[in-house]
Amino acid sequence: MLNDITIGQFFPGQSVVHRLDPRSKIVFCVVFIAALFVANSAATYVLAAFVFVLAAILSQVPLRMVAKSVKPLWLIVLLTIVFQAFSGDGLVLMKFGKLTVTQTGLETGAMMSLRLVLLIVMSSLLTLTTSPLDLTDAIERLLNPFKKIGVPAHEIAMMMTIALRFIPTLIEEMDRIMKAQQSRGAEFTEGNLLNRARGIVPLIVPLFVSAFRRADELAMAMEARCYRGGEGRTRMKVLSFRPEDGVTVLFGFGYLLVTIGMRYYFKL
């Protein structure tokens, strides 16, 4: 399961999406997520799925790799459907004592689960097609206007990118610790819920120790290279906004407006 987590991983390529300015990709992803929360019907979710599939095809990232990002969260998706199925009103489909499964509840659960899945896979597609360094520069440039009110744009961008960068590293470390504990007879998938929770302790403690050690090594390395924040920092690759980036942003806002129109004006 640990190998199925793709958030923070970068898939190198030369596709149209890979060549886009990272700022336009971040804006598009944010607008897409906003449109997901506006969507409230089957038609709007079909449109959202179409937009994602189009982005995935243009990125040339294997759909199997993008879909792997949902696998670790399948239990949350399933529980979302179950809880909504028992909490809705309308036509009763099944009864389990005092609990009833309704058609409205199932439909709501399915749409909420689809919203969660699309949110995860689009965010995963962003990190798969954008390198951590490009993400840092893009986030910093997008936050630069807020410096006037005291927002530390460079520091926020650096922290977010370091967090994304170390997700795959910590996953590999977790996998090594788990295999080492299993070789000593530890069991993580057997027993009741309490025993499984207790079994996580031998994993969490060494993982935290390793994370703190890596953080200390990273801080020492940055200090040894005279890192002093964003003041006076130059870049080898300067971000440039091209026509295709403008088309991407306009397409994203156009999709948001269409979703709003389908919900509030056309009642689809």
β-strand pairing of 99-102 with 92-96? antiparallel
Question: CA-CA distance, 175 to 198, in Å (whole number)?
Answer: 18
Question: Mean pLDDT over residues 34-63, rounded?
Answer: 90
3 state SS of 190: coil
pLDDT tens sequence across 127-180? 889 887 788 888 888 888 888 888 888 788 888 778 777 877 787 888 888 788
Q: Is the pLDDT of residue 1 over 60?
A: no
Angle at CA of residue 33, ends 28 and 37, nearest 5°: 145
Asked whether the CA dihedral 50, 168, 180, 209 is positive or negative, the reply is negative
Q: How far is CA 237 from CA 66, 123, 134, 137, 234, in A?
A: 28, 24, 9, 10, 9
pLDDT of residue 261: 92
- Helices 132-143 & 22-38 angle (0-180, nearest 10): 70
Over residues 90-124, the pLDDT tens digits come to 676 677 767 777 777 778 888 888 888 899 889 88
pLDDT score for 255 = 94
pLDDT of the residue at 140: 82
What is the pTM assigned to this prediction? 0.77
pLDDT tens digits for range 222-256: 888 877 776 666 666 778 888 999 999 999 999 99
Domain boundaries, the chain: 2-161+235-264
Mean pLDDT of the chain, nearest integer: 81
Q: What is the pLDDT of residue 38?
A: 92
Beta-ladder partners of 99: 96
pLDDT at 112: 86
The confidence score (pLDDT) of residue 196 equals: 66
Residues 27-33 have a mean pLDDT of: 94
Cα separations in angstroms, 234 against 38, 181, 215, 230: 40, 45, 24, 9
